[in-house]
Amino acid sequence: MSQAAFNPAAEQEKLDLEMVEIHLLTEGIYRHYGFDFRDYSLPSMRRRIWKRVYAEGLSTISALQEKVLHDSGCMERLLLDLSINTTAMFRDPTFYLAFRNKVVPILRTYPFVRIWHAGCSTGEEVWSMAMLLTEEGIYNRCRIYATDINEAVLQKAKDGIFPIASMQENTSNYISAGGKDTFSEYYTARYDYAIFRPSLRENIVFAQHNLVTDASFNQFNVIFCRNVLIYFNNALQERVQQLFLNSLDNFGILGLGRKESIRFTSVADSYEEIDAEERLYRRVR
């Protein structure tokens, strides 16, 4: 395979131009549609944007900008690229196990528990939590507020209908997570889908919420936000961590993704670790 000789100045210019294009695209989306991706982390943004450029049959980010601004269908598709996070029931089973063993005993002492699941995507982890709390006998005292920026995925979360093909993995996660019943009893199989028991949804409120632009909407005892902040840059992570801190009661619990950490933000000193490995924290000041 022959390759043109390397020309540092030309490559540098191309990269700088790419930065300008990404900036203009996100600024245009913000002004026209109100979605704010301006403080999303660059490396992932770059990959996701280029994926959409090629999928639309285009060759530059500028061309994508034009299409996105004039064609709301294209914006919908880009929005899915930028905001969908794949998930599974009881993902990272040891997280749920730690929650069961170390957090549930604390929650038992509360008359009422408010839980915010921020960035819930298609809802698998919300339904998982409803099962766990049911098995622990405290679900009737809990209310879960499940939010996401994206209405389309939120509707999926609300429906509670998931591909039957994922049930094998879900079942094995459920068992590793310390599940106490039989996983298959939570759903009814219909063709290629598993329809989950509507009773699990009784204490879940699904609502659109944008972590980037919206304010806090309640005080909570528990906040989950797993593998959402990795897509934000430092400034935006800082903003959202402040939002969480201000939305947590004293001694409230914060649960992050397995490789997300509060130690690079200014809220680090406001929490103590409940389980360092599983990224479960408790607000202490």
Partner 1 sequence: MRQIGIIVIGTSLGGMHALSVLLGALPPDFDPPIAAVQHRYRFSNESLPAYLRTKSKLPVVDVDDKLFIRPRHVYLAPADYHLLVERGSFDLSKDPAVKYSRPSIDVLFESAADAYRAQCVGVLLTGSNDDGAQGLVRIKKQGGFVIVEDPASAEAPEMPQSGIDTAQVDRILPLERIGPYLVELWRQSRT
Q: Which residues contact 94 (CB under 8 A, 6 or more apart)?
A: 176, 177, 277, 278
Least distance from partner 1 to the Cβ atom of residue 78, Å: 14
- Counting contacts by CB under 8 A, is residue 15 touching partner 1? yes
What is the C-alpha separation between 159 and 36, in angstroms, rounded? Answer: 27
- Counting contacts by CB under 8 A, is residue 54 touching partner 1? no
Least distance from partner 1 to the Cβ atom of residue 267, Å: 14
Using the 8-state DSSP alphabet, how is residue 24 labeled? Answer: H
- Counting contacts by CB under 8 A, is residue 1 touching partner 1? yes
Q: Burial level of 224, CB count in 10 A (0-12/13-18/19+)? A: buried
Helix (H, G, I), strand (E, B) or coil at 33: helix
Least distance from partner 1 to the Cβ atom of residue 134, Å: 25
Q: Are 247 and 211 in contact (CB under 8 A)?
A: no
Give the tokens for residue 124: 């698998």
**Residue that is written with structure tokens 């201000």 in the block:** 246
What is the C-alpha separation between 167 and 193, in angstroms, rounded? Answer: 9
* Binding track over 89-118 against partner 1, x by CB under 8 A: ------------------------------
Q: Whose Cβ is closer to partner 1: residue 1's or residue 215's?
A: 1
What is the C-alpha separation between 106 and 98, in angstroms, rounded? Answer: 12
Least distance from partner 1 to the Cβ atom of residue 110, Å: 31
Using the 8-state DSSP alphabet, how is residue 261 labeled? Answer: -
Side chain identity at residue 95, one-letter code = F
Per CB under 8 A, the list member of 11, 13, 269, 272 interacting with partner 1 is: 11
Per CB under 8 A, the list member of 27, 76, 135, 260 interacting with partner 1 is: 260
Per CB under 8 A, the list member of 6, 57, 111, 235 interacting with partner 1 is: 6
Per CB under 8 A, the list member of 182, 184, 234, 250 interacting with partner 1 is: 234
Give me the residues that bind partner 1 (CB under 8 A), please: 1, 3, 6, 8, 11-12, 15, 41-44, 46-48, 85-86, 227, 229-231, 234, 237, 257-261, 263-264
